[in-house]
Amino acid sequence: MQSKRTRLDRFISQHTGINRKDVRSMLAQGRLKIDGSLATDIHQFVDEFTHVMLDEKTLQAKTPVYIMMNKPTGVVSATKDNKHTTVIDILKKTVNKNETECLDIDNLHIVGRLDFNTSGLLLLTNDGRWSRLLTTPEQKIAKLYQVTLANSINKYYIDAFAAGMYFSFEDITTRPATLEIISSQVATVTLVEGRYHQIKRMFGRFQNPVVELHRIAIGNLTLDVGMEHGDWRELVEQEVKSFL
């Protein structure tokens, strides 16, 4: 997603048709307010969440939205789908029930998708800069999954995951992953990347099918205890900033 930051004079011109050269005089006349204060510099930057007013009329008043959801299996990590229920469909069905203030649902996008049959922590936002921060490979933000397997696992899995595995189709070797055995057929896996069906393919090397896959955490953000499948809530400011 491209940056939506632009200079104030360009923003005013795009939204009103006023010549950019005339914006300077508008500032001198005190006609422009940015985030509640009089604008003073035509060169200052405006982003998609800057509150902009001209002659006490609002030109832009978009609020950032950050949501965590416990995605159920059988739901698509998409905003639209003609065949299956999407996470946006879940939001639209429950927004009134949760008595939440009007959300900018139609402009939300998904931060790091989950497969159709994978459940757990999913993030949604309308803030492109924030989602880029979470998904860029250079950040190496860890993602924690709980995996239930068809067959028993042993200590040899731990070493194989830590060493990384070569995927010939992409001609890549996965980054080291941490596997912790919880019980004979349950483990947690921590990844800092997200290759196509990576966890299922890694266990596939041992011919051990994944029965259930559930994402527990992204970075320092952990799915709320007791949050049922399909439940969601808005993140608090501290949680949003924990990724910065």
Positions marked active-site: 115
Residue 106, C-beta contacts closer than 8 angstroms, at least 6 positions apart = none
Task: With CA atoms as reference, report the closest residue to 28 among 14, 38, 13, 17.
Answer: 38
Residue with tokens 């051990």: 208
The number of angstroms, rounded, from the C-alpha of 202 to the middle of its chain's C-alpha atoms is: 24
C-alpha–C-alpha distance, residues 20 and 5, integer Å: 16
Environment class of 71 (CB within 10 Å of its CB; exposed 0-12, middle 13-18, buried 19+): buried
Environment class of 164 (CB within 10 Å of its CB; exposed 0-12, middle 13-18, buried 19+): middle
